[in-house]
Structure 1
Amino acid sequence: MSTTQTARLYEQVREAILSLEITPGERLSERGLEARFGASRTPAHAALMRLEADGLVQREGRGWMVSPIDIGEIEAVAEFRETIEVAAVRLAAERATDADLAGLDELLQAARPVRTEEDGVRSGGDFHVELVALAGNAFMVEAVRGCLVRLARTRWLEVRTPQAREAAWAQHHAIVAALRARDADRAAELVRTHIRSTNARLVERLTAQVQPLRLRGLTVVRDADAG
């Protein structure tokens, strides 16, 4: 089996799923991926196994299905992120150097203005990964990256307007300011509030969009056991 071919196919299918080109609930097969992406069967199977580990596809009988957008899962991911990121920001307040924090501030400044939804999703994700990285714990970074992958198909709902993108940027900036002041309690509370408020708005908007999304052919469920 070609490791390179498997990696390339995995990235192609992953991008198609995250961009909603391949929609939630869509059926997949190894043979279908062969035809669509010009891959052989063994790399197709390996790529699907990797995507299953990411939570982006799941087994459906003898085949595969793109995982539905699961509102219950989104809420659970927010709880997990809060636990990880609050702990990480407290460690960052102790461990990050002044230069580290200045670099995070520069990353924020370079992302402004956040002109599009795509920019908002990308810059927001980059910020959270870099923020957690300042804790100096690779497992925390990997956990947050995994959470952001799970949320990638829906985070665009949170950054649809310039006002929403500006509000997110301002919240990120406040977190950095608290860290630069070495105020761990305030930084932790700002992270907690940011994650909770962002999740609440996302779930509210997603719930309101369930029917339109279903009309577009996207499968949206309330929890992992819903039909």
Structure 2
Amino acid sequence: MSQMTAIYEQLRDSILSLKMAPGERFSERSLESRFSGSRTPIRAALARLETDGLVAREERSWIVTPISLDELEQAIEFRQVIEVEVVKLACARAQPADIAVIEEILASCKDDSSRAAWHRVGSDFHVELARLTNNGFYIRAVEDLMIRLSRARWLEVWTVEGRDRSWDEHHVILNFIREGRVDEAVAAIASHIDGVRSRNIGSRLTDVPSHQVRGFSVVGKAS
């Protein structure tokens, strides 16, 4: 793994897990000290994060992109369309071996697993559903959506109740796909996405404990 890739992945994890808060400002010099590296790979990593929409340049420094409620609404609207089509195709194209892979991913999280592990498995679940379509456009669209929605989705794994709910809903969706029950699979994925939206956009975005997220910045308005 190159130094740039290692820096990118560490910064990305810090941002997505909210260890680096939305709206938090930082400098390239501070990252040089943190990673004991030269500025070239740091700038390359920041450029990649900027493409992901996770950081933005602000004069001579950088800022972790604030969470935009308007953008989240748009992303979830797009997600509803994309993932409904994903499960339709998955019902027609999924093979038993493909389903087994996703079951193993879900089973990798236990009661004592970290929030980070639950968050990662949740993202992987949706990306792997997209792989069942055998269509690279759907796969890339869902991968991008998981990144764009990742910080808001952390709230879904913040509590045991939230983790249990996700586990149950993911298994329901997968079982309908396994059985080729298209209408039920579509209804289940639509309900899952709408539930995440209604629970996590708006007031709950500021419910993360202050010791975990400093200077939390949310812009726009929930509809």
Who is 2:24 aligned against?
26
What does residue 108 of structure 1 align with?
A: 106
Structure 1 residue corresponding to 2:164, chosen from 163, 166, 186? 166
1:131 maps to: 129
Could you tell me how far 1:206 is from its partner in structure 2?
Answer: 2.6
Letter in 1 for 2:52: D
Q: What residue in structure 2 maps to residue 180 of structure 1?
A: 178
Corresponding letter in the other structure for 1:220: V
Moved over 4 A (4+): 112-116, 210-213
Match among 101, 110, 120 for residue 122 of structure 1: 120
Superposition pairs for residues 1-227 of structure 1, below 5 Å?
4-113=2-111, 115-207=113-205, 209=207, 216-222=214-220
Displacement of 1:47 in angstroms is: 1.2
3-state SS of 2:63 partner: strand
- 8 Å CA contact 1:54–1:149 kept in 2: the answer is yes
Unaligned 5+ segments in structure 2 are: none
Q: Aligned equivalents of 1:7 and 1:129: distance in 2?
A: 21
Residue pair 1:114, 1:162 contacting (<8 A) in 2 also: no
Question: Which piece of structure 1 moves more, 45-54 or 20-29?
Answer: 20-29
The one-letter code matched in structure 1 to 2:199 is: R
The residue type equivalent to 1:74 in the other structure is: L
Q: CA deviation at 1:204?
A: 4.1
The superposition leaves residues 40-98 of structure 1 with CA deviations (integer Å, 9 ceiling, x where unpaired) of: 12222211110100111012124321101222222222112211111111111111113
Residues in 2 aligned to 1:36 and 1:105: alpha-carbon distance in whole angstroms: 38
Gaps of 5+ in 1: none
Deviation at 1:101, TM superposition (A): 2.2
Distance 1:210 1:184, change over 3 A: same
Give how far 1:165 is off.
Answer: 1.6
Equivalent-residue separation in structure 2 for 1:115 and 1:4 (angstroms): 29
Residue 175 of structure 1 contacts residue 187 of structure 1 at CA under 8 Å; is this kept in 2? yes
CA RMSD of aligned residues (A): 2.6
